[in-house]
Amino acid sequence: MIYPEAFSVFLVSLLVGSSKAFFDIGLSTKCVTIPKDLGLCNDIGYSEMRLPNLMGHTSLAEVVPKSEEWKSLIQTGCHPYARTFLCSLFAPVCMDTFILPCRSMCVAVRDSCAPVLSCHGHSWPEILDCDRFPAGEDMCLATLSKEYIYMYRDLPKPTCQSCPTIEDSVQTKTALEAFCENDFALKVKLSKRKTPSETHQYEIDGQVDFISQGDLLPYDTRNMISQWMLINEKCAEKMIRNPRSLLFIITGSVHHGKVTITKIFHWQKRDSNLTLAVRKWRYHKC
Ligand SMILES: *[C@@H]1O[C@H](CO)[C@@H](O)[C@H](O)[C@H]1NC(C)=O
In a domain, 286, yes or no: no
CA atoms within a 13 Å half-sphere pointing along the CA-CB vector of 214: 24
Task: Identify any residues that bridge with 200 across adjacent strands, giving them in sequence order.
Answer: 194
Both 51 and 114 in one domain: the answer is yes
Asked if the peptide bond before residue 115 counts as cis, ω within 30 degrees of 0, the response is no
Instruction: Please report, in tens digits, the pLDDT of each residue of the chain (286 residues total).
Output: 555 544 433 332 333 233 333 444 555 789 999 999 999 998 889 999 999 999 999 999 999 999 988 998 999 999 989 999 999 999 999 988 889 999 999 999 999 999 999 999 999 999 999 999 999 888 898 876 665 555 556 788 999 999 999 999 999 999 999 999 999 999 999 999 988 777 888 999 999 999 999 999 998 999 999 999 999 999 999 999 888 899 999 999 999 889 999 999 999 988 899 999 999 999 999 9
Both 146 and 168 in one domain: the answer is no
Q: Is the CB of 275 under 6 A from ligand 1?
A: no
Q: Which atom of ligand 1 approaches the CA of 169 most closely?
A: 14
Q: Is the CB of 29 under 6 A from ligand 1?
A: no
In a domain, 66, yes or no: yes
Look up the domain containing 263 and give its range.
157-281
Both 73 and 125 in one domain: the answer is yes
Last residue of a domain, one of 153, 187, 215: 153
Q: What is the DSSP letter of 102?
A: P
For residue 252, the domain's CATH number is: 2.40.50
Both 148 and 11 in one domain: the answer is yes
Q: Which atom of ligand 1 approaches the CA of 271 most closely?
A: 13
In a domain, 149, yes or no: yes
In a domain, 81, yes or no: yes
Distance (Å, whole) CA 147 – CA 67: 29
Q: Is the CB of 171 under 6 A from ligand 1?
A: yes
Atom 10, ligand 1: residue with shortest CA distance: 171
For residue 9, the domain's CATH number is: 1.10.2000.10
In a domain, 262, yes or no: yes
Total-model pTM: 0.81
Both 68 and 162 in one domain: the answer is no
Closest CA to 56 of 89, 97, 105, 100: 89
Atom 2, ligand 1: residue with shortest CA distance: 171
Structural domains in the chain (count) = 2
Atom 14, ligand 1: residue with shortest CA distance: 169
Both 213 and 115 in one domain: the answer is no
Both 145 and 175 in one domain: the answer is no
Both 266 and 147 in one domain: the answer is no
Determine contact, residues 257/144, Cβ cutoff 8 Å.
no
Q: Which of 273, 274, 280 to mutate to test the pocket of ligand 1 (most atoms within 8 A of CB)?
A: 273
Both 169 and 271 in one domain: the answer is yes
Q: Is the CB of 170 under 6 A from ligand 1?
A: yes
Both 128 and 219 in one domain: the answer is no
Distance (Å, whole) CA 240 – CA 266: 10
Give all strands (DSSP E) within the chain, no chain letters. 30-33, 48-51, 157-158, 166-167, 184-194, 200-212, 246-255, 258-266
Q: Is the CB of 230 under 6 A from ligand 1?
A: no
**What is the whole-number distance in angstroms between the Cα of residue 271 and the centre of ligand 1?**
8
Both 8 and 145 in one domain: the answer is yes
**What is the whole-number distance in angstroms between the Cα of residue 260 and the centre of ligand 1?**
27
Both 120 and 196 in one domain: the answer is no
